[in-house]
Structure 1
């Protein structure tokens, strides 16, 4: 038997058969029913499918799911308030997430991006009586697939995933979407597939940052990024950069761009790659003396750009301006302050948790949520130097 042998979804077939066994007292009051793993093996289906069947049984208060122990035939005479641990939904407009566990799979996090996301998710989880389990992938697709499988085996009720850099979403994510498992993607979306996502409005943010440079007189701007590799966050920022040029009637010169920087990606982070990218940037700036500004797609690339400019004996912002996405707060550390587009990470994290909980409860959520980023002025941008504006 497999998941496609009948027109009725297999999780409904499993639900019907287990329900029948409960109603006819094949499974008696308080008796343990088969686990997700046991049902998956019996029906030769994925654990996503068997999990959904058990969730449906819990939603009808036929079983009580007890973390770490299993699922048991429920006592119909118990008060409905005692059923919160079954994972059933309240059917109201507010989130009912008692005992819910959410798996968070993220590439990595640091002081420039990611920490705020986790803060927002942790707070939202506490507010909604749910638990957050974190796994990092370091941008390696194989780690991502393994993390999804392990969290599903742990019995998480939903997943929030910041996908690894790559040319495609891995098969495990596609399985989750097909099985309608509660899933929210963060920082990028899945093209052509109805998976809920939450991210910054990267196109709008890049457009606004580029227009700010135009207003300072910069028209020869080098766009600095890793290879796009079909990553929607990168693609959208490139599109915003291009649109800004089109709106101002300024020609886009892709010969000024550097779009093959890899040393800031978690899986390529090592001293040799950093030095390679620095030499690449130094050589590029030497070859293109008309460049007056650099738009770095992320903070760590902005740091590379700053080092490359300083190696050439040039000044920031007098000779070259730099703008980027995100920059760590400098209130306490006294660090260098880049002009940057600040993403609302904590709000993004909060919405991601609330949306995955709403999906668990059968409530509709927007397919794509975009949050505004805001321009924060720092020390790295200024007017074009006299004589360099063309």
Structure 2
């Protein structure tokens, strides 16, 4: 089966297939499931794709990944995990239940997707706050497709949720359902993005300051010719702010921000474009760019998956990280297994963001004072991917 034969991303199909086999007891608690390599061969995809599917299963506590042993169907009792922490295979998470009914308020959570690099700890924060506040969460993923997002929001409103937390799909415009909720003053909190010109509550990282800090870290290592790698900004506030912080850092140090060194049209990491063909295209684009600009000594990647593309491009050219090229990015898996790589990165305050999102939705519901826009700091985490700048190549 080829990734190009279906509109659904292959990592999502693998996730759904394995989850269904667990639900129908083809795999029982404690059973080993196929490895990244075995799934990649079965579905004729790359290990990047099969790995992402397994990461999603682990993030939902459906499986447990054990270093050196493989992946196993989660067994809450054997693994010592409580029901609330184990999660639910039907996609719901959160607070206490009594006699099968949700206790307290019901909050819908709409995310593009989540993984170990970003999103999983965000959900943990929401779950913690839901338990503390005696409310219940319903989690749905849209895979970055705006049509899915609109339909999901409508279904959650029909279900009767009291409030919504939305991580919007990347795109030039917010969907009509979000705009309608803002106009009608429905309790809504946006994650990671702001709605410009509209008073919608939002919680995000201070992306400008975080990008400044990341760029300055490279400057302090002697890097001056830095290539910024990003998806198309298309009015996505988080991407725009990181680019702004990158430019401001250059201005503050009196270093020219050479836009001819940038690549700002990488699309393979977008949720609805994640497949082997697009990944290979973007890696090749970065390779050719580095060959055309050999004086580049560092890459500033807007996100973790783009850093992976840069790493692949650098190593395929026979160059070393960080001796020849350094890489810095936003986010990285907290726990690395097998082929995991420790990038120097800016770690966002995901759990705090999740907790604040729940607390602010409840504050809006109860007409209590709450901050309209919250910006949280990110922390620089040094890793293996950065080092002193080498002498420029001509």
Taking structure 1 as the reference length, the TM-score comes to 0.74
Q: What is aligned with 2:292? A: 287
Is 2:374 the partner of 1:369? yes
Q: What is aligned with 2:352? A: 347
Is 2:109 the partner of 1:104? yes
SS in structure 2 of the partner of residue 323 of structure 1: strand
Does the 8 A contact of 1:317 with 1:382 survive in 2?
yes
Candidates 234, 241, 265, aligned match of 1:236: 241
Q: Give the gaps of 5 or more residues in structure 1.
A: 1-96
SS in structure 1 of the partner of residue 290 of structure 2: helix
Q: What is aligned with 1:120? A: 125
Q: What is aligned with 2:180? A: 175
Alpha-carbon distance between aligned partners in 2 of 1:129 and 1:333, rounded to the nearest angstrom? 38
Is 2:163 the partner of 1:158? yes
Alpha-carbon distance between aligned partners in 1 of 2:293 and 2:160, rounded to the nearest angstrom? 55
Is 2:213 the partner of 1:218? no
**1:106-125 CA deviation, whole Å, 9 max, x = no partner?**
00000100001100001100
Q: What is aligned with 1:319? A: 324
Superposed displacement of residue 329, structure 1: 1.8
Alpha-carbon distance between aligned partners in 2 of 1:156 and 1:201, rounded to the nearest angstrom? 29
SS in structure 2 of the partner of residue 324 of structure 1: strand
Alpha-carbon distance between aligned partners in 2 of 1:333 and 1:126, rounded to the nearest angstrom? 34
Superposed displacement of residue 330, structure 1: 3.8
Alpha-carbon distance between aligned partners in 2 of 1:98 and 1:389, rounded to the nearest angstrom? 63
SS in structure 2 of the partner of residue 222 of structure 1: strand
Provide closer, same or farther for how the CA distance between residues 137 and 331 of structure 1 changes in structure 2, counting only shifts above 3 A: closer
Alpha-carbon distance between aligned partners in 2 of 1:375 and 1:260, rounded to the nearest angstrom? 26
Look at both structures and tell me which one has the larger radius of gyration over its CA atoms.
1
Q: Give the gaps of 5 or more residues in structure 2.
A: 1-101
Is 2:388 the partner of 1:383? yes
Superposed displacement of residue 333, structure 1: 5.4
SS in structure 2 of the partner of residue 245 of structure 1: helix
Alpha-carbon distance between aligned partners in 2 of 1:319 and 1:153, rounded to the nearest angstrom? 55
Candidates 351, 363, 375, aligned match of 1:358: 363
Within 5 Å, which residues of 2 pair with 1:127-142? 127-142=132-147
Candidates 249, 260, 264, aligned match of 1:259: 264
SS in structure 2 of the partner of residue 139 of structure 1: coil
Does the 8 A contact of 1:322 with 1:339 survive in 2?
yes
**1:362-385 CA deviation, whole Å, 9 max, x = no partner?**
112111100000000000000011
Q: What is the Cα-based RMSD across aligned positions, in Å?
A: 1.4
SS in structure 2 of the partner of residue 135 of structure 1: strand
Superposed displacement of residue 389, structure 1: 8.5
Alpha-carbon distance between aligned partners in 1 of 2:326 and 2:164, rounded to the nearest angstrom? 40
Candidates 172, 191, 194, aligned match of 1:189: 194
Alpha-carbon distance between aligned partners in 1 of 2:271 and 2:283, rounded to the nearest angstrom? 17
Superposed displacement of residue 351, structure 1: 0.3
Alpha-carbon distance between aligned partners in 2 of 1:113 and 1:328, rounded to the nearest angstrom? 7
Alpha-carbon distance between aligned partners in 1 of 2:208 and 2:386, rounded to the nearest angstrom? 21
Does the 8 A contact of 1:102 with 1:132 survive in 2?
yes
Q: What is aligned with 1:301? A: 306
Is 2:219 the partner of 1:198? no
Superposed displacement of residue 98, structure 1: 5.9
Does the 8 A contact of 2:192 with 2:203 survive in 1?
yes
Superposed displacement of residue 218, structure 1: 0.2
Q: What is aligned with 1:209? A: 214
Alpha-carbon distance between aligned partners in 2 of 1:106 and 1:331, rounded to the nearest angstrom? 23
Alpha-carbon distance between aligned partners in 2 of 1:341 and 1:300, rounded to the nearest angstrom? 14
Aligned residues: 293
